[in-house]
Chains A and B, each alone.
Chain A
């Protein structure tokens, strides 16, 4: 299986390549990609230099153009696609149907990958994208079990990529407006979720309160570390109980399912984390590279180390395991 690694900066790109990535995914420094955070992403010049660095080492570059084109501003996305093709991107990762149509029509030889943001979660949806736009690969939304993926793979005429490690979206990607409901900024349009610009921490007695857009997302006791207020990982009051309504603050880790995913027909494993530092990227990529080469018996030791890098040092296999539902 290919190992697809994140890069939010040129430095992280080089670390990912040197640590053993088969491909690196990254985006331009604007709202055309779904990790539009301050200080992240690539200028045209940086992307050109990074692609050259990767090509010299036989590592591919996938450019994420995976937000939905803002009405009236479509040129920004078309230009980003044109530039990525010109700069030598090996694949474009796209969610918007009209952007897929543009790329298929204007750059018919360009490899098109369908972003997880497109939310194609079944064979008929995937076949529609393959037949309509020539999609070569599809990144599966984190809503399917390993068994679901195994049943799906033989029915579709494209490669399948899955998220294997890193942040966990609890909601189906590309279909979530929770963040824009609370902050006015949207994953789908502006490429941001629970943006730092709308985060506030305040002390209330012994407790630390984390807020997003004026809503309390969590309260932490004196001896509890105060985590980032990602909306769907917050603690809320429901009926007569308080708790993590949607998901605990945990990360995704499907290492225990590597062989099952390979047997299911998965082509590529994706590591989440374009907002992470280069040291994190290097560590995760090299460990996963080793884990893929190791025997199942050797893996637990390699992976125990990885888990320490996870949010709250806790992980879940999420929707890949049926019991999560």
Chain B
């Protein structure tokens, strides 16, 4: 391979998992040789924090001891004073680099090294350059961007590390209202943490039975799982340095190994996809955003089109 080798990162768990299950998930990740970096923390809903907070130091330390680059994510949407305080505390007190997922964290982190998460809108190279000038060292681009846009942005700030969302249900929207609680007859303020019943999200189908979206607390995600395996060479050629795997309720260490094997040309993309379909069954794959089309679409590789 030419150029930089793609490094594999693991994004924050988007769902509400039981605290101990969450801890054990990361302990396994610490032992996974294929993952280079991990960004941790609650991004979606501040009400969930108490589930994982007791374990976060142990998890971060164990991951760092295993040689992973550890970062802590800020929340994607900060509206309450309590959430603003948490963000300030994270920025001030974290011994790990912070990934900004809201403009509040971005402002507070200005002037010191930090990461940019996919929830800060970076749609062009000018914005990327400005963020780099303020201290951003790695930018995870939003999954809505096409390869054409990714290549443009990376080309304008080639000295920076860029990360692209390569596996997982796509984060599509966030709301003040909790549709997940609402679907189960609760309000957000009295949600009784019903999202914990759905560790891989709650399916939203159309009235004609089409799989469509997934509820995850106040967040709406795709039903499909974005899979950029055949696209890895193009991403690397565009100058992307990191690919992000977003945790689903499946064996993410095996998912990472599959990505690493395709990256390293040990197996081809078609075999990698076949492995992923076993590891994460029953969920259709998509890569439409990457190809500049409808996000839910699956654009087959040239080889797949020939064999079809």
- The residues of A with any CB-CB pair to B shorter than 8 Å are 68-72, 74, 95-99, 101-102, 118-125, 127-129, 131-132, 142-144, 148, 151, 170-172, 174-178, 180-184, 186, 188-189, 209, 213, 215-219, 232, 234-239, 241-243, 245-247, 319, 322-325
Cβ–Cβ < 8 Å partners of B81 in chain A: 151
Q: Of the candidates A68, A174, A177, A184, which one forms a contact with B124 in the assembled complex, judged by CB atoms under 8 Å apart? A: A68
B77 and A323 within 8 A (CB): no
| B 57-72 to A, binary, CB cutoff 8 A, 1 in contact else 0 | 0000000000000000
Cα A69 to Cα B177 in complex, Å, equals: 29
A157 to chain B, nearest CB (A): 13
Q: Which of A184, A217, A243, A324 has the most CB of B within 10 A?
A: A184
Cα A325 to Cα B212 in complex, Å, equals: 23
Q: A121-B79, A325-B188 are in contact. Are A247 and B294 (CB under 8 A)?
A: no
Cα A69 to Cα B126 in complex, Å, equals: 9
B92 to chain A, nearest CB (A): 12
Cα A123 to Cα B76 in complex, Å, equals: 15
Cβ–Cβ < 8 Å partners of B79 in chain A: 121-122, 143-144, 148
Cα A98 to Cα B131 in complex, Å, equals: 9
B204 and A124 within 8 A (CB): no
Q: Which of B83, B103, B119, B150 has the most CB of A within 10 A?
A: B103
Cβ–Cβ < 8 Å partners of A236 in chain B: 204-207, 212-213
Give the residue name and chain of the B residue nearest to A121 (CB): B79
Give the residue name and chain of the B residue nearest to A319 (CB): B176
B207 and A71 within 8 A (CB): no
Q: Which parts of B201-231 form the interface with A (CB within 8 Å)?
A: 202-210, 212-213, 215, 220, 222
A235 and B207 within 8 A (CB): yes
Cα A184 to Cα B131 in complex, Å, equals: 27
Q: A171-B173, A237-B204 are in contact. Are A245 and B78 (CB under 8 A)?
A: no
| B 233-245 to A, binary, CB cutoff 8 A, 1 in contact else 0 | 0000000000000
Cβ–Cβ < 8 Å partners of B297 in chain A: 184
Q: Which of B105, B150, B176, B212 has the most CB of A within 10 A?
A: B176
**19 A-B residue pairings within 8 Å (CB atoms):** A69-B126, A71-B124, A101-B126, A118-B121, A122-B84, A123-B84, A124-B84, A124-B104, A132-B110, A174-B121, A175-B174, A181-B289, A182-B296, A184-B294, A186-B144, A215-B206, A245-B182, A247-B177, A325-B178
A208 to chain B, nearest CB (A): 12
B80 at the interface (CB under 8 A from A): yes
- The residues of B with any CB-CB pair to A shorter than 8 Å are 76-81, 83-84, 87-88, 102-108, 110, 119, 121, 123-127, 129-131, 142-145, 148-150, 152-153, 156, 170, 172-179, 182-184, 187-189, 202-210, 212-213, 215, 220, 222, 288-289, 292-297
Cα A70 to Cα B149 in complex, Å, equals: 7
Cα A181 to Cα B152 in complex, Å, equals: 22
Given pairs A98-B130, A124-B78, A143-B176, 18 additional interface contacts (CB within 8 A): A68-B121, A71-B124, A72-B124, A72-B152, A118-B121, A121-B78, A125-B104, A143-B175, A151-B81, A171-B175, A174-B121, A177-B289, A180-B289, A182-B212, A188-B123, A215-B206, A241-B183, A323-B187
Q: Of the candidates A71, A99, A209, A323, which one forms a contact with B149 in the assembled complex, judged by CB atoms under 8 Å apart? A: A71
Q: A188-B144, A238-B183 are in contact. Are A122 and B104 (CB under 8 A)?
A: yes
Q: Of the candidates A121, A183, A241, which one forms a contact with B294 in the assembled complex, judged by CB atoms under 8 Å apart? A: A183
**Is chain A's interface secondary structure helix, strand, loop, or mixed overall?**
mixed
Across chains A and B, which 5 residue pairs bring their CB atoms closest together, nearest first? A128-B107, A98-B126, A124-B104, A71-B152, A125-B103
B210 and A215 within 8 A (CB): yes
B78 and A177 within 8 A (CB): no
Cβ–Cβ < 8 Å partners of B208 in chain A: 209, 216, 219
B181 to chain A, nearest CB (A): 8
Cα A239 to Cα B207 in complex, Å, equals: 12
Contact count A vs B, C-beta below 8 Å: 224
A171 and B295 within 8 A (CB): no
A321 to chain B, nearest CB (A): 11
Q: A121-B77, A124-B88, A217-B206 are in contact. Are A180 and B144 (CB under 8 A)?
A: yes
Cβ–Cβ < 8 Å partners of B207 in chain A: 216, 218-219, 235-237, 242
Q: A98-B124, A122-B79, A325-B189 are in contact. Are A178 and B172 (CB under 8 A)?
A: yes
A238 and B103 within 8 A (CB): no
A322 and B204 within 8 A (CB): no
Cα A218 to Cα B206 in complex, Å, equals: 8
Cβ–Cβ < 8 Å partners of A142 in chain B: 176
Cα A119 to Cα B79 in complex, Å, equals: 10
A102 and B126 within 8 A (CB): yes
Give the residue name and chain of the B residue nearest to A129 (CB): B103
Cβ–Cβ < 8 Å partners of A324 in chain B: 176-177
Q: A68-B123, A180-B295, A325-B187 are in contact. Are A246 and B175 (CB under 8 A)?
A: yes
A246 and B130 within 8 A (CB): no
Cβ–Cβ < 8 Å partners of A172 in chain B: 77, 173-176
Give the residue name and chain of the A residue nearest to B222 (CB): A181
Cα A99 to Cα B126 in complex, Å, equals: 8
Cα A127 to Cα B127 in complex, Å, equals: 18
B173 and A128 within 8 A (CB): no
B127 to chain A, nearest CB (A): 4
Q: Of the candidates A184, A217, A238, A322, which one forms a contact with B203 in the assembled complex, judged by CB atoms under 8 Å apart? A: A238
Cβ–Cβ < 8 Å partners of B222 in chain A: 181
A170 and B177 within 8 A (CB): yes
